[in-house]
Structure 1
Amino acid sequence: MSPLSISNKPAPNTSYYTPSQEPKSGVAVQQENFTTPSLFQPITIRGLEFQNRLWVPPMDQCSADDGHLTAWHFSHLGAIFTRGPGLTFIECTAVTANSRITPEDSGLWKDSQIEPIRRIIEFAHSQGQKVGIQLAHAGRKASTIAPWLVAAGTADESVGGWPDDVWGPSDLRHSEPLPQPKALSREQIADIVKAWADAAKRAVAAGIDVIEIHHAHGFLLHSFVSPVSNNRIDEYGGSFENRIRLTLEVVDAIRAVIPADMPFFVRISATDGLEHLPEQPSWKIEDSIKLAAKLYEHGVDVLDVSAGGSSPKQKLPSGPAYQVPFSSAIKSALSSTPASGLLVAAVGNINNGVLAQNILDEKKADIIFVGRQFARRPGLVWDFADDLNVKIRVARQIEWGFTARGIPGLATQPTTEVKVNA
């Protein structure tokens, strides 16, 4: 047999050899007499197109070394990138050393932390995939132990913790196992806003595609907006407008230093889950609706809707899609307002493709985030596609073992051209 001159083309703009993935993993293959469900249609946000709407949220790994990502993160995220979610987030990443949840959290408070992130992003981009990063400050829930070691507990100095350097809007403790916080001064608040902007600059330098701020689960920004954790009497406490002041300052600071065409997300807790305690002032869904409209005015593109985290007394629903009612309520409330352009993401045990598609069809959300299911099954995009009878492309090194060798025309198979501009 004569040798063939068929090149295994390299991925472009990559500092090492890896085969090109075009079409990229996660793209739906056009099928005759078949309309691709919206979960597998592309969506464009600002200057960025995502090949589908099944995305991976941040999943804390507690495996960083002084805030620097390690080989664990490369392995964990790389297995997901190659299977083709529309967007994959690097985990919750601290903007200061003392804002980590655990001593092993990811960070972007110094320049040396850029390179490990850049390497992961370079690999994702070589696969044609998009990467986001969630920037965070744990506030009064900082300096804790990795969750697989204890359910909740303070990390002391002997294990790299900083229990005497934990800060929140007030000196109100979350719960007995966690540290006793101190109330931030106005000067410290200004420093934290700058730290968030500086971390965003480092993320841009690393090549990130999307930035999200963590405004949920009782961490710093959520603790400022919630009366459960904020009893300040200055301009950062009291009224709704005062309690959201820090949030808007952080949003404005980040929007000012990232490219105009970069999508910007905020993850919120839609409710504290304390409606069963009417005597306890708390953050409720109606507050989230008001905040969502403000965030859109300030340049936020996607609202990532979770819930809870402010109090151990919370009561939240459970089961498949248990948090979708929150995203649905926000999307519905904004639909006839100037903030109707804000995209809303649903989360919460969305465990199959039919369920995910129904959420989109019923206009309860625009995007689907799935976390723990991806940790269990990195090829979840493929599984959800099978649920909906959608054919997708997968990284060639994986795909060929499930199809055949050298299928004529496979490498240039036409893909869906449907786009939704947002």
Structure 2
Amino acid sequence: MAATEVVQSRRIVTEIPGPKSRAIQKRRSSAVAQGVGSVLPVYVERAGGGIVEDIDGNSLIDFGSGIAVTNVGNADPRVVERAAEQLARFTHTCFMVNPYEAYVDVCEALNRVTPGDHEKRSILLNSGAEAVENAVKIARSATGRQAVVVFDHAYHGRTNLTMGLTAKNMPYKHGFGPFAGEIHRMPMAYAYRWPTGPDNCGPEAAAAAIDQIVKQVGTENVAAMVIEPIQGEGGFIEPAPGFLPALVEFCRANGIVFVADEVQTGFARTGDMFACDHEGIVPDLITTAKGIAGGLPLAAVTGRAELMDAVHGGGLGGTYGGNPAACAAALAALEAIESDDLTGRAREIGELMLDRLNAFADKFDVVGDVRGRGAMVAIELVKDGKEPNPEAVAQVLKHCHARGLILLSAGTYGNVIRMLPPLVIGDELLREGLDILEEALAGL
């Protein structure tokens, strides 16, 4: 049965995880490094639409999309067909040795769809962390400066440099230092937790960040400012209005490269092709990955031609960057997003989910905040006012997983439940998943 034939209904026939998954989990413990975790160790047989089927025959509702990867759905037929055709022709040559047209096609597509109508260039890589790291390399090369500005609650990856850029210690940074130098962290416009209230958050946070940069770093030393237009692992923090435009203006005035990390927010996830589009932000460089290729590993940096071309020949690249099968998949995924209007579908998903989640906030004191855009939404769980409540998150996830709903946590304090359904999920599955979430909240 092809992925497109996966029945779009939840079906639980064993406990979760089931006996076959538990048997493989036992094998895993003696074969796979313990440092690799799994949110829900059900071993997957196939997936499609809004459903993930495990090897025990259970069908789970997918509110995770492999962490915002399968935006076009798992095993989209167009992605599968294009990738399979490419695999039959050749699997690898290394673009730096013998190039191929699909790499150029993907770069042309990225130059077209990313924010701004200026002349652009792109490079293709393997992962979001690699894209962010290369964006910093490009900014440093182009500006001749070294310092990098990042923000509270940020997540940018697991390489040495991107761990340094990432804010959260556990589990991402703990025990892995020392990290790269010349990284400077600034306040984030976290409206729910801003001391003087959400209405003041955007202007005040921008002013605080700019003041610290000027006084503590020196604008003449800053190569790049790297920020997620909506923070992902940090808890789906949507910057308060005005924050991002003020930062862009500051960067433009001071020769600082503004880098938008859209690894999680890109490719229709937020109801726009990119989250920057919401406030009309045009970054100098934009990093993408996750949803770029329908589930195959691919990432990119796209940016102003004069910046991208400032690096010396041979200074950018990698053996697998822009793998031909992944390039074919990316072209098919972009075609699916545009032809099926998945940006519009993301907005529909957001309206449905936010209506229900706001109702939960009215009904349950534990829901302190509801936030997000499109099919990237979250609730923050609290106790005694705004004190983070990670214990409640753990209870909710345990209930939902047992009932066949894949959910993820997030947040610096571990107290956020994030929802990232595939953009092809049906409304009935969305409602059923939210019903399960409501049951869990009611049981706290």
Do these two structures clear the TM 0.5 threshold for a shared fold by scoring above it? Answer: no
What TM-score results when the alignment is normalised by the length of structure 2?
0.29
Higher relative contact order (CA 8 A, sep 6+): 2
What TM-score results when the alignment is normalised by the length of structure 1?
0.30
More helix by share: 2
